[in-house]
Amino acid sequence: MEFFADYGLFLLKAVTIMVAILVVIGGIASLTMRNRSDSEGELDIKKLNDELEDHQHQLRAVVCDKDAQKQLEKQQKKDEKARRKADKKRAKDGLEPSADPRKRLYVLDFDGDIRASDVELLREAISAVLTFARKEDEIVLRLESGGGMVHSYGLASSQLKRIRDRGIQLTVCVDEVAASGGYMMACLADKIIAAPFALIGSIGVMAQLPNFNRLLKKHDVDFELFTAGEYKRTVTMFGHNTIKAKEKFQLDLEDTHALFKQHVQHYRPRVDIEAVATGDVWYGQQALDRKLVDEIGTSDDYLINACEHADVYTVKYEQRKTLQEKLGMAVQQGIERAAVRLMTVANRQTQTKG
């Protein structure tokens, strides 16, 4: 048992050294990345219909017998032949190839952090789609965000408003959470679909910060703050916060909350805004009862069903990655894997004690 204990400690030391090396390399890579200008990106477009069809073919090859497969393939060829024949006849008559052109759905993704960092990628994706989308098409946003900075999510919401201004249907699907700034974005949709246990709401404003003034005084450290303008700075982390400063800060929060409520009320007029603008959150079904969402369901169900009557495309705008960025990502993944191994070894070592 002592041998295993010594071996475990040696392994922990080795992993610790490896993590330290990876952190240094990662830091160097990050510094290199910061010093370069943003590279141009590119669109990644995939047709969901084709992916589902490929999955269906793979399952059919395993599940169905050969006779059933041949029958299905024969029917598909027959249907395709009939469609081509009908298109040729319409072309001969000077008509469009199809009497009822299929609707297109463009699927975008937004995974929001506190700074809404993905807003630039969302902006590019929306700009690209709007150059080609028709009035009869639809844009679906798979949204996941617990909110964050007001101005950042205000900009993200403005990007979605561009879709509404063009008269194109906007649907937002929430599988996990659309709260605070996330709901600020979601409420611009013509239709909001939420999973049964997705968290919805948090229509409120919050700010918190520590104050070290008493600690500084205890150690005879003075803090001086110079401003021009009565309200250039209200509350601070290091100075003494007066009652007047706190009242002004609270008033600013109330003003922001009022704007948030107006925003939601404008785009969701059926909502009882005073009842829901408490900062509380609700699960999907509860949010439906409060008219914060329009349907209960997952994005998977909505898109798979849409494939039956429309062409569905996922559209992502991605920045081209340099060698340094790829190295940085590899280092980050290496650190994460090393951390997991470290915790696993420590857990096993604990289990073998005694």
Predicted pLDDT of residue 159: 97
Nearest in space to 141 (alpha carbons), one of 108, 166, 188, 116: 108
Q: How many CA atoms lie within 13 A of 293 on its CB side?
A: 32
Extract the tokens encoding 259: 């704007």
Q: What are phi and psi of 310, to 5 degrees?
A: -150, 160
- 261 catalytically annotated: no
Grouped pLDDT means (10 residues each) for the chain, 354 residues: 52 60 57 51 91 81 72 71 72 61 93 92 96 95 95 96 97 97 97 97 91 90 86 87 91 95 97 96 97 97 95 91 64 68 51 42
Angle (nearest 5°) at CA 187 between 301 and 190: 60
Per annotation, catalytic residue among 92, 135, 232, 353: 232
Predicted pLDDT of residue 209: 86
Predicted pLDDT of residue 354: 45
- 30 catalytically annotated: no
Per annotation, catalytic residue among 152, 180, 202, 299: 180
Taking the C-alpha atoms of residue 76 and residue 60, their distance in angstroms, rounded to an integer, is 14
